[in-house]
Each structure stands twice: as structure tokens, then as C-alpha cells.
């Protein structure tokens, strides 16, 4: 009888843990320890979600002005990581944004070209302990369309 109650308790804890993870972190697994987060699933301040057929989630986020941001806290294991942001800049004067992630101070990023969704260069960062990691996108230029961020551990 005691074993039955322990089994019920363990299953309940497992289900609760899975539900919490699903609700707080919506991510697409791309490979071993590699995942992608859609920017439209972030907490948005003064930002607009727009439909875009070429985007991975069929949506992008446009930050409107200096008060705009997209923010999300995820759980990461201790280690070294690289992040790549996928973005559409309509022109060379409309392609930059700021990213703050892990131990990296605010970094100005942009793709090598414009007119389609392209990756920025990789940003390397450290997660000093298992736990929360905050990701923040902020405004740099008008009309930048943020699609997703891909995070991968560095071996």
C-alpha cells in the first residue's frame, strides 16, 4: 500500500513539473541541447506582433521606439552558450536592435544583409550557475522585424 502511494506521489510531481515547464518555457528543440524561442512569445512592452509568412512561427515582433522591449526569462544549465538572432531588416538603416543575454552587456546586432530573415553573428555568453537567464531585446532602429533566437551550448 505504501509503495502505491509513493508511486502516485511521484507521478503527480512529474506531471506538475511537466506542466510548469510547458507553461513557462515554450521552445522548439532543434537538436541535442539546441533550441529556438519565438520572440512573439516574449513579454512585450510597446511592441507589435505582425504576421509574416516567412517567419518560423509565421509572426515577427516590431519594437516601436526607445521604450520598447521584448523580455523572457528561461532556465539554463551552467555553461558556455552561443545565441543567434534571426531578424528581417527592410533596409540598412532599419536592421539593428540591442540584445542583452546572460552575462553579456547590451550588444547592438544586425544581419549582414536586408530584405529577408537572416541570422546575426553569434553572441557568446556564460551561464554561471543552473537557473534563470534573462533575454532582453530593445529598440535601436525603426521597422526591425524580430523572428527568433536560437541558443546552443558551446562544447
Q: What's the CA gap between 154 and 134, in Å, rounded? A: 18
Would you say residue 68 lies in a domain? yes
pLDDT at 85 over 60: yes
CA distance 66 to 81: 28
pTM for the model stands at: 0.80
Q: What is the pLDDT of residues 19-61, one digit of tens each?
A: 333 334 456 655 567 889 999 999 999 999 999 999 999 999 9
Count of domains forming the chain = 1
The per-residue pLDDT for range 102-143, each reduced to its tens digit, is 888 899 999 999 999 999 999 999 999 999 999 999 999 999
Range of the domain at 125: 27-153
Q: Is residue 10 situated within a structural domain?
A: no
16 — pLDDT class (breaks 50, 70, 90):
very low
Q: Could you tell me the CATH number of the domain that includes residue 144?
A: 2.60.120.260
For residue 115, is it within any domain? Answer: yes
C-alpha 87/C-alpha 80 separation (Å) is 23
Q: How far apart are CA 126 and CA 154, in angstroms?
A: 10
Residue 2 lies in a domain: no
Amino acid at each position: 500500500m505504501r509503495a502505491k502511494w509513493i508511486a502516485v506521489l511521484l507521478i503527480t510531481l512529474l506531471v506538475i513539473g511537466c506542466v510548469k515547464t510547458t507553461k513557462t518555457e515554450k521552445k522548439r528543440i532543434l537538436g541535442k541541447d539546441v533550441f529556438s524561442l519565438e520572440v512573439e512569445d516574449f513579454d512585450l512592452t510597446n511592441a507589435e506582433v505582425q504576421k509574416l509568412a516567412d517567419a518560423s512561427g509565421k509572426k515577427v515582433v516590431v519594437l516601436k521606439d526607445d521604450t520598447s522591449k521584448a523580455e523572457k526569462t528561461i532556465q539554463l544549465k551552467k555553461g558556455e552558450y552561443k545565441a543567434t538572432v534571426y531578424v528581417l531588416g527592410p533596409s540598412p538603416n532599419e536592421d539593428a536592435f540591442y540584445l542583452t543575454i546572460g552575462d553579456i552587456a547590451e550588444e547592438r546586432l544586425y544581419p549582414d544583409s536586408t530584405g529577408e530573415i537572416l541570422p546575426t553573428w553569434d553572441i557568446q555568453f556564460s551561464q554561471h550557475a543552473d537557473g534563470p537567464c534573462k533575454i532582453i531585446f530593445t529598440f535601436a532602429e525603426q521597422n526591425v522585424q524580430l523572428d527568433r533566437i536560437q541558443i546552443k551550448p558551446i562544447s
